[in-house]
Amino acid sequence: MGWSPNHGRIKERYNPKPNAAEARHETRMYDEPCFGCGRNCETLHHTMLHFAEKRWKRDHRYQLPLCKPCHVGRYGIHGIGCELAWLERVGKTQEEAVAYMLQAWAESELIAKYEGRRYG
């Protein structure tokens, strides 16, 4: 209809597909043990926990590596239906989960920096 001013985005737009840096991070996370029980990681869980560094509801940077039983089993996160209840069941706190995810992303950034790649 006419000219529209570009106000710019305050916050970047959510993309359901991870960018290259996030994809490398996800690949690295599959080598980590399950956050709940320590078995081999089979899937990554987009946490619904809220913390300042998290950009969106399902942020590709902050995921927990989990085995299938801890993710979708009867007593897993989706089986119980509440992430906080699941954390309590496995003997972890919300603060430990958030610290783990922040540390994992920071490590991925350091690895990328060492390898000469640019992260997110």
23-52 pLDDT, tens digit each? 999 999 999 999 999 999 999 999 999 888
Confidence of residue 116 (pLDDT cuts 50, 70, 90): confident
- pTM, two decimal places: 0.81
What sign has the CA pseudo-torsion 55, 57, 59, 62? positive
Count CB-CB contacts under 10 A for residue 64: 26
* pLDDT single digits (tens) 58-99: 888 899 999 999 999 999 999 999 999 999 999 999 999 999
Confidence of residue 118 (pLDDT cuts 50, 70, 90): low
Give the CATH fold of the 20-115 domain: Herpes Virus-1 (3.30.40)
Q: Where exactly are the structural domains of the chain?
A: 20-115
Neighbour-count burial of 49, counting CB atoms closer than 10 A to its CB (0-12 exposed, 13-18 middle, 19+ buried): middle
